[in-house]
Amino acid sequence: MGRGVKLFRVLGIQISLDYTWFIVFGLVAWSLAQGYFPITIPGLTTFTYILVGIISAALLFACVLIHELSHSYTSNKLGLDVKEITLFIFGGVAHLTKEPEDPITELKIAVAGPAASVALAATFWLLMHLAAAISAEPVLSAVFGYLAMINMVLVVFNLIPGFPLDGGRILRAIWWKKTGDLQKATQVASQVGKGFAVLLIGFGFFQIFMGNFIGGLWMIFIGMFLQQAADSSYKQLLVKKTLETIKVGDAMTRNVVTITEDSTLSTVVEKHFFGYHFVGFPVSSVRQAHDTSDGRITGMLTLNNVRLIPKEQWDTTLARDVMDNISPDAILRPEDNAMDALSRMISLDIGRLLVMDNGKLVGIITRRDIMKLMEFKADLGV
């Protein structure tokens, strides 16, 4: 999901911008400066229109951000971990590490965004009237008026009952609550989403034929986005279902090669990294003379750890000096499922997890292991 620019953190959540956002931001600012504001408040200079266009587009961005933060804040409150939001202009994608486990949680999260947008619309509507009442610059009430309107547009758009829009999530939650069948509920909501997308694209072409080129293009653009999102979110659920049936014990690599704590980096690079072509190895404590066990796993040494040390020091640096500690979260049991493994990898941002059985290392599982098994299953049609 690295497609974007990292911006800043709010409430512990990393905010990123998708690259397409820059194009859309430019388009919004331009259409405001060229069309909307010259019509609403005529008689200002081109420079003023451009300035007001950019400021309004930036405020629109802030409103979309508040909408998304409202979803994420609610998610975090309800125990779902949201660490990152990627913003598109008409919404964002919160990177959920897990999906809501019951319909009521889903419903609360889905409603939180539109509720924030309604509050924003009301606030800007009041500000617009306030600005008019104290006879401030007409430009001010025009901007407030635009923001009140656009927030209501966001509410209406997001409440379209097609998954993965908020309205679609609400529909899915209600269906899910009624039937108890999440998969069917998702299928229905994403079908409705695709239906709306097709309508929107059709209406967009109609608008273009009627001479409203920009407006029509917008609708086609949003419709295509919606269609793709509806499709991929249903597929995601199917993948998730499949992952839940795979046991970590079946997907993991057995016979794990370990490094001892007192190996030098030169040895490790030569014997392990070059010898086995893995990018990470578990590190075990040095076996004592009276100890019959294989040694305790005390850390993990990855290519990144080695890369940080200058080559001249490889002869004198030991594995234990540069290895990463292993957090208890990064350890799985063979009976855990592949979905648990994948969501832990995402939330810890690491590519491999150790599999332990009664304190003994029995395997290691990577994203690649999981993907490979998924591919095999798909190839064999199971």
C-alpha 125, offset from chain centre: 32
Residue range at the interface with Zn ion (CB under 5 A); choices 163-171, 211-219, 228-236, 360-368: 163-171
Closer residue to Zn ion, CB minimum distance, 46 or 232: 232
191 token code pair: 């079908």
Residue range at the interface with Zn ion (CB under 5 A); choices 108-116, 128-136, 280-288, 307-315: 108-116
Q: Which 352-371 positions form the footprint of Zn ion (CB under 5 A)?
A: none
Residue with tokens 């994203």: 367
**Least distance (Å) from Zn ion to the CB of residue 73?**
12
Closer residue to Zn ion, CB minimum distance, 36 or 90: 90
**Least distance (Å) from Zn ion to the CB of residue 82?**
13
| 106 vs 28: CA distance, rounded Å | 31
Q: Which 270-289 positions form the footprint of Zn ion (CB under 5 A)?
A: none
Q: Which 120-159 positions form the footprint of Zn ion (CB under 5 A)?
A: 158
**Least distance (Å) from Zn ion to the CB of residue 112?**
8
Q: Which DSSP string corresponds to 297-362?
A: EEEEEEHHHHHTS-GGGTTT-BHHHHPBPPPGGGEE-TTSBHHHHHHHHHHHT-SEEEEEETTEEE
In the list 103, 113, 161, 193, the residue contacting Zn ion (rule: CB under 5 A) is 113
- Residue 117: phi and psi, rounded to 5, are -65, -35
Closer residue to Zn ion, CB minimum distance, 167 or 280: 167
When asked if residue 164 is in the footprint of Zn ion (CB under 5 A), the reply is no
Q: Which residue is nearest to Zn ion (CB)?
A: 113
- Residue 115: phi and psi, rounded to 5, are -60, -45
Closer residue to Zn ion, CB minimum distance, 84 or 166: 166
> Over 149-169, what HEC string results?
HHHHHHHHHHCCCCCCCHHHH
User: Cis link prior to 164 (omega < 30° from 0)?
Assistant: yes
Closer residue to Zn ion, CB minimum distance, 109 or 350: 109
Q: Which 166-185 positions form the footprint of Zn ion (CB under 5 A)?
A: 166
| 352 vs 322: CA distance, rounded Å | 18
**Residues forming the site for Zn ion (CB under 5 A):** 113, 158, 166
